[in-house]
Structure 1
Amino acid sequence: MRITIEKDLCIGAGQCALTAPRVFTQDDDGFSALLPGQEDGAGDPLLREAARACPVSAIEVTES
């Protein structure tokens, strides 16, 4: 899988990090970021739910 975070859309709500904390975190400015080594989501079952939880749809998950 491929995870794309649209930084221009992200408002820093943190829903991704709350939903899938093994994949997402928030950077120093409070915006969504992937944890190191999680560029493909590492099979986390909550990955797609985290993308759906984003209030501005800033996260896209696609099959590679």
Structure 2
Amino acid sequence: MAGVKQARDGAVGILTLDEPASLNAMTPDLLGALALAVGEMTGTRPSARWCSRAPGGDFAQDRI
């Protein structure tokens, strides 16, 4: 899924935001991809835990 990588570690779902060109800004496309990814992660296991992250330390507030 563009912009969102998915992985699992046991019962933990890991969603990684991966849009470095936009510094992972919540664009409509990225927000839609994140919503779909959360739905996929929790669809079969509603009690599953998940965490989202943006690697590399490039966050928008660092560039202002």
TM-score, normalisation: structure 2: 0.34
Asked which structure has the greater CA Rg, the reply is 2
TM-score, normalisation: structure 1: 0.34
Higher share in helix: 2
